[in-house]
Structure 1
Amino acid sequence: MRADDRIAIADDGAGIVLAPAPGEGATGTALVFIPGAKVDPWAYAALLSGLVTDDGLAVVITTPGLNLAFFDLRPLSTFTGLAPDVGTWMVGGHSLGGVRACQLASDAGALVLFASYCANDLSGSALPVLSLAGSEDGLSTPQMIADARHLLPADATMIEIPGASHASHASFGDYGAHPGDGTPTRPTPKSAPSSRIKSANWRPACPDAAAGDIRPPRPGRWRRCPSQPGRWRRCPSRPGRWRRCPP
């Protein structure tokens, strides 16, 4: 990843934090991103950087032991604690990292799957979910994602990117070809994750001080979800989520 004055980078061993530099319009929303198996976490930094520079999100890329995130048993709070000023948290991951993200999703405000699918049942939740997949993926194939679709909420946003493979040529990660990835049939821009999330007009739920509950994003609109000073705050009982708390 090239140096960029718009991004503040920190790496404390638990995760790599990419955040808007001071004065760059941080939105108070962030993504915990869990890498795929045996992939260097830094391989995702350049592709996810567009979420920071273009959209004001912070990104925490987890750094599991032996690069095997699926067996990383640390709770989501381990990673949300690396960016304490964030109020709204999404969790997501690539490949097996996405499977792990599904297991942590109950502690987040939204779930984003990158060439992945859930093994646990989230269909009964109100969680906003976005699935980004490639038509040429040879590992998380379109059929496998379709077969696991029933485990997601009925209103999950499902996007299949034409020509994208599992990871090679920067479809979802910039770490070169792995056996079984599939062959991409068209080039994928380096800002693919950011542009695809934005093109879906998708955003996690945010607090509505008037309604007194969590409000889903407005269809067809990409917007910021500001906190409500004095009325909403983070509560220890629901790490990474905003709710109305007792005084």
Structure 2
Amino acid sequence: MRGARDGIASRLPERRTLLLAGGVAALLVALVVAGGAAYFAAGMGPEADAVAAVEADPNVSVDRTPVGTTVRDGPVTASTVGLVYYPGGRVSHESYVPTAAEIVSASDRDVLVVVVDMPLNLAVLAPDRADRVRERYPEAGGWAVGGHSLGGAMACRHAAGNAEAYDALVLHAAYCDRDVSETGLDVLSVRGGADGVIDVERERASRSNLPADARVVELDGVNHAGFGAYGPQPGDGPASLSPDASREAVGNATGTWLSERVRSAALVVAG
């Protein structure tokens, strides 16, 4: 009996050591997860002055809602074109408020842009959140979905599975890894000529996933960060256009295209 007791006693320190080691490992994992969550939740941007300039503009309205931040130039009606916009990875959604304002200003239609607030600033965690936006604004006459970088890729995935809900897909410095060529969606893909972040070869190869009549636009002097207002991005190329001019170029290319391509669908609903 004594020998058995001695054996048990000798194993107790070992068990305590294993339990302690397991507890330390669990704590380290928790700290890593918490640190990673805090890193993504902090996000990049927005640049306060750029957002404040939009809020001071009497021609647009900026509203914070449970689904995100909306930018519009009038009441939402059956003639309104809605654009659900997914932010880039680890970028605060409000960083795209200035871009949204440029899109609204460039269109000759009533436009509503809703920049979606994503969990931990990652659209990959909620790729179908656009559904909430459409439910919130059922009176809008036509819808497009799109986004920047990772947000654009997630918008493509959402559109691929919900094509009947949209008229168009907008890709900003992004590409589709899903085939939307036969969905009936109109597609606009806007790239920056100075973009140092996007995988250019993969973007070009993925164009086969787009409809044959997709419009692809390359903007000279615009880099990856030029699609939003969140400051410089590691690994990006140098932009020859200023941040304001870059967002204006993106807005013009997008807003005029939305006016052309979503017009007929919106008018049919309105009529």
Q: TM-score, normalised by structure 2?
A: 0.70
The answer for the alignment partner of 1:65 in structure 2 is 119
Q: Which amino acid aligns with 1:155?
A: D
Q: Which runs of 5+ in 1 are unaligned?
A: 208-213, 215-224, 232-247
**How many residues were matched structurally?**
210
For residues 156 and 132 of structure 2, the distance between their equivalents in structure 1, rounded to whole angstroms, comes to 16
Measured on the aligned residues, the alpha-carbon RMSD in Å equals 2.4
Q: Which runs of 5+ in 2 are unaligned?
A: 1-50
Of structures 1 and 2, the one with the larger relative CO (CA 8 A, separation 6+) is 2
The answer for the alignment partner of 1:194 in structure 2 is 251
Q: TM-score, normalised by structure 1?
A: 0.76
For residues 26 and 20 of structure 1, the distance between their equivalents in structure 2, rounded to whole angstroms, comes to 14
Percent identity (aligned)? 31
The answer for the alignment partner of 1:11 in structure 2 is 64
Q: Which amino acid aligns with 1:142?
A: V
More helix by share: 2
Shift of 1:27: 4.2
For residues 152 and 176 of structure 1, the distance between their equivalents in structure 2, rounded to whole angstroms, comes to 30
Match of 1:181 among 223, 226, 236: 236
For residues 172 and 73 of structure 1, the distance between their equivalents in structure 2, rounded to whole angstroms, comes to 20
Instruction: Summarize the alignment of residues 3-152 of structure 1 with structure 2, pairs less than 5 Å apart.
Output: 3=55, 4-22=57-75, 27-55=79-107, 56-105=110-159, 106=163, 107-152=165-210
Return the index of the structure with the highest Cα Rg: 2
Q: Which amino acid aligns with 1:178?
A: Q
Q: Which amino acid aligns with 1:6?
A: N
For residues 25 and 54 of structure 1, the distance between their equivalents in structure 2, rounded to whole angstroms, comes to 19
The answer for the alignment partner of 1:203 in structure 2 is 260
Q: What are the Cα deviations for residues 99-134 of structure 1, in whole angstroms up to 9, with x where unaligned?
A: 011012223110010000011111222210000001
The answer for the alignment partner of 1:242 in structure 2 is none
**Residues 134 and 54 (structure 1), Cα distance of their counterparts in 2 relative to 1, 3 Å cut:** closer
Q: Which amino acid aligns with 2:219?
A: I
> Does the residue aligned with 2:261 lie in a helix, a strand or coil?
coil
Shift of 1:138: 1.6
CA contact (8 A) 2:89 2:123 kept: yes
More strand by share: 1
**Residues 146 and 68 (structure 1), Cα distance of their counterparts in 2 relative to 1, 3 Å cut:** same
CA contact (8 A) 1:133 1:142 kept: no
